[in-house]
Amino acid sequence: MNINISIIDQRVKSMATQYEEKIKQQIHTNKTFENDKHFFISASFVLLCIQTVLEISLETALDCLTEGGNDAGIDGVHIGDVQNGEFIVTLFQGKYKQTLEGTANFPENAIIKILNTTAVLFDPGKSITFNRQLEEKIEEIRSLVRDGYIPNVHIMLCNNGLTWNDISQQYIDNNKQVQCSHINQDKLVDLLQQTKPINDDLKLVGEAIVEEFNYRRILVGKVSVTEIKKLLTKHGNKLLERNIRHYLGLENNWVNQGIKESLIDTEKRQNFYFYNNGITMICSKFRHNALQNKDFLVKIDDLQIINGGQTCLTIKNNLENLQQEVFIDQSSFENTYVLLRLYELDESDEELVHDIIYATNSQNPVELRDLKSNDSIQKKLVMATKSLDYTYKPKRDNTSDEISSQFAAEAILAIWRCKPYQLRINKSEIFGHQFYSEIFNDELNAAQLIIAVLILKMVRNKTHDFSPYSEYFMAMLIGKDLLQKLNISLEQLEHQNFIQAKETLEMSFSDFVFSAQNTISLALIKLYGKPKISLQQLSATFRRGDLLEYL
């Protein structure tokens, strides 16, 4: 047996046992679960793929799970935030073999099925029936499409075996609407490891600036796009571990198309250097022959790309595709350059690394919570929550027993800052300049943070009992009712009355839910004048703030 197959099988079976109840809560179906061990193993494999590929928490990955019958071969759906009028939809289909030889290809019929389904999936005018959790996801996507946002669809075809056959590849090549990627045991182990330092050489072209500045070394020069392709082909996504905008090579179509056009056009190709913002890399050490005047060969230790990861991936993918599609020789790109900035930083420069990443990526703040983890307010919250017997983690890689800063920020913004609608479309922005200081202000304390998290978790555990898409609004109303029952203001919720607040929440939660449901139902009737509202309308309603005035 392949060792990677064994590693993934052990992890998947452990997850199937550990998260069986949570999977049951997420999968609302008539399917009989008793004694169906393979169902939970299969669902856990999809769950592992979602969590690992997207680098998200277990709770968020569980919310993406749609497996459970009448799912059209779609076992998981993740909807990205809207950026520049577009949003990324990632579909997961899992095929997990109980026999662990690892010799089976991804099934051809399964690929045909999901491609055919995707062709009509996002058309707001098409009437199709899925299981409840998948239907809610699809109608949310259709609602965004109806509002004029463009979906970029990527399908992750996941199995514990080999990739698809040539006939399946032809079907994929003929479908220009989606991108398909293969995820198997080798890819998962590679993504789960990603810790070995990368040491390599990089050949620069022409003159370069190398100098010491503020006790650190800096190199600025230009490098051929063929060198970038060679580097990415050799090391892949391991180069992008520190890049906060990295998303498994997914990029907006217009960016991809623009770079591709620049590479195809011979006149534009020679000016590619001027069209691009360049690539920023960091390392622990770089060496070159200082006696040379130009064309340095730079030896680099602990290399990481912290800005320009999308550019690198797009260069690599397009050079490979162009050489296949139009038979362009590799040498045609040797005079196509991109700007390179290389910083040699010490281990003690971790905070500076975070600041550099923030500064070079802040125009599109994705996963910025990692960069905020050293803020004084975050450090204080870590200590304060610990004193209340909870573990708060500002950085990622949290376990299910810990409170992630992402989940806490969502709960606080929805419940205490009364902006639940923002989380329907701007979730990735909450650690950017617009919301961060509002969420994590000086008045926020550990008791307020934990109570908000508990409310949102309890709401999510009963999501199937509510109107679809309403969980953040439900949580906000429950937070208001809790403070009212305690007869205190938010400012008065602190460590001294934390236990009382927690016990009141647990004892009165059912009453709070009943009240919040009635409030939302009445508000929807006032807004639309009818009790029956389509899923598309509901998705749009909870994505906007106009419902607040009726609550």
The series of mean pLDDT values per 10 residues for the chain, 551 residues long, is 84 89 72 68 94 85 86 90 86 92 92 87 79 88 90 94 94 87 90 76 94 87 94 83 48 59 81 88 91 92 86 84 64 86 80 65 51 76 90 69 88 96 79 84 93 95 76 96 97 94 96 94 88 84 83 80
Residues 12 and 144 in one domain: yes
pTM: 0.66
Q: For position 363, what pLDDT does the model report?
A: 46
Residues 180 and 45 in one domain: yes
How is residue 144 written in tokens? 């965004």
Residue closest to 511 by CA, chosen among 481, 536, 488, 487: 481
How is residue 388 written in tokens? 């209340």
Which of 361, 379, 404 finishes a domain? 361
Q: For position 221, what pLDDT does the model report?
A: 95
Residues 452 and 412 in one domain: yes
Residues 34 and 181 in one domain: yes
Residues 183 and 66 in one domain: yes
Q: For position 194, what pLDDT does the model report?
A: 61
Residues 411 and 512 in one domain: yes
| Number of domains forming the structure of the chain | 3
Residues 186 and 209 in one domain: no
Residues 275 and 399 in one domain: no
Strand bridging mode 297-301 / 285-287 = antiparallel
> Using an 8 Å Cβ cutoff, are 112 and 175 in contact?
no
How far is residue 311's CA from residue 255's CA, in Å, rounded to a whole number? 9
Q: For position 252, what pLDDT does the model report?
A: 47
Neighbouring CB atoms inside 10 A of 533's CB total 15
Range of the structural domain that residue 47 is part of: 3-193
Residues 186 and 206 in one domain: no
Residues 109 and 222 in one domain: no
Q: For position 43, what pLDDT does the model report?
A: 93
How is residue 446 written in tokens? 């550990």
Q: For position 354, what pLDDT does the model report?
A: 63
The CA R_g of the chain, rounded to the nearest whole Å, is: 25
CATH number, domain containing residue 179: 3.40.1350
| Digit-coded pLDDT (tens) for 376-393 | 788 889 988 998 999 998
Please say whether the dihedral angle defined by the alpha carbons of residues 113, 114, 117 and 118, taken in this order, is positive or negative.
negative
Residues 11 and 56 in one domain: yes
Residues 67 and 212 in one domain: no
Which of 361, 393, 412 finishes a domain? 361
Work out the angle at residue 236's Cα, subtended by the Cα atoms of residues 235 and 238, and round it to the nearest 5 degrees.
75
